[in-house]
Amino acid sequence: MKTLTLLGSTGSIGKNVLNVARAFPDRFRIAGLAAGKNITELAVQVLEFQPECVSVADEQSAEQLVDLLPASWREKIFCGKVGAKKVATLPSAQMVISAMVGAVGLLPTLAAIEAGKDIGLANKETLVMAGRLVMQAVRKHNVALLPIDSEHSAIFQSLEAGRRDDVAKLILTASGGPFRSLSKEQLAQVTPAQALAHPNWSMGRKISIDSATLMNKGLEVIEARWLFDIPAERIQVVVHPQSIVHSLVEYIDGSVVAQLGIPDMRIPIAYALSYPERLNLGLSPLSLSACGSLSFEPPDYERFPALNLAFAALQEGGVKPAVLNAANEVAVAAFLDNKISFTDIAKVVEAVLAQFVAGDDLDLAAILAADKKARDLALEEIARRQISL
């Protein structure tokens, strides 16, 4: 029996983690849950899985949760950064699933690593913001960091086919999102509702927008650089609309190893939870004949500049990736609130990035300071661009 704590339990990934745990009650026990403000959903999870402790975003959310649970739960409910850290470092937990959305996942994930917990990583921002520091902590505390993103899980599995010294290139696939064939003029008219309608995957609001702009793929490039210790110039992105080939590894002899599967997040989640075993999830098998043609094409960096911004931030280093992430989070929220256009998201990020200088000497305080400053600058840039409703 493996004991788990779950950061981000009410999000898309979190729900699928609980689906896997629910399907294998003899394999996994949920010891802690952390969520944001979806209190109704969290209350149902708490009553089902009976964790040792729970954390929510703030005191108001904690009081709402108390009202939905028996009185005995009051002493087990925590909130804010302290609460998330408590769940992340719960002594009984063997593995922490980091599935919070955005920069908020960094500190509890680092705390879990420092507490000696193995990590199932779905919060890509942890490595985007502080990849060097996080991987140093992973090595120092001798913990396993297993990827949950479908692309990174695919690379992780494909790397088992050969030696790391023989890897020539990592190839991340991108679906291209719902606007792959739109012109620049059409992209400027995209609405939040249209951008949230991903053609292949069921995802949360923020990641759906990131997928539509291709920023999500840019963040995954940065994550891959640190997770697999491969420089940016040896990481490639290809657009694969069918989302069947989840990513590939090219070796120096010309061999290319890929991982294929139906687009269901339970597959990479279960692999991370049970590694090196594989679990029978009872899913419909992939039928290649039913898939028909599988196509691949290069990304269009002109129509989707967010991907290029991510590569540039990675190559420049320093706080630039953290700034990229922070500005993007703010810009995406503004787009969802109809304050800026779809194409303004990348423009806001680019404008904020231009106000920072790259540098290699980093510590956590510098990263967090850059994150805060980038958010403030992004809000100023959005105010200049704000569209009328």
What are the extents of the domains in the chain? 2-147, 317-389
Average pLDDT, integer, range 232-246: 95
Question: What are the residues facing 147 on neighbouring strands?
Answer: 121
Write out pLDDT tens, residues 17-36: 999 999 999 999 999 999 99
Closest CA to 207 of 61, 119, 99, 310: 99
The answer to whether 2-147 and 317-389 have equal CATH topology is no
pLDDT of residue 389: 39
Q: Does domain 2-147 have CATH number 3.40.50.720?
A: yes
351's enclosing H/E stretch is: helix 344-353
Write out pLDDT tens, residues 314-327: 999 999 999 999 99
In sequence order, the 6+-apart residues with CB closer than 8 A to the CB of 67 are: none
pLDDT of 272 > 90? The answer is: yes
Residue 292, Cα to own-chain centre: how many angstroms?
30
- pLDDT band with cut points at 50, 70 and 90 for residue 388: very low
pLDDT of 41 > 50? The answer is: yes
Whether the Cβ atoms of residue 101 and residue 207 lie closer than 8 Å to each other: yes
Closest CA to 322 of 259, 380, 371: 371
**pTM given for the model:** 0.93
Q: What are phi and psi of 57, to 5 degrees?
A: -65, -40
Write out pLDDT tens, residues 89-101: 999 999 999 999 8
Q: Which CATH class is domain 317-389?
A: mainly alpha
Residue type present at position 329: E
Whether the Cβ atoms of residue 215 and residue 346 lie closer than 8 Å to each other: yes
Write out pLDDT tens, residues 58-73: 999 999 999 999 999 9
- pLDDT band with cut points at 50, 70 and 90 for residue 207: confident
Closest CA to 203 of 2, 4, 11, 10: 11
- pLDDT band with cut points at 50, 70 and 90 for residue 205: confident
pLDDT of residue 202: 59
Average pLDDT, integer, range 148-169: 96
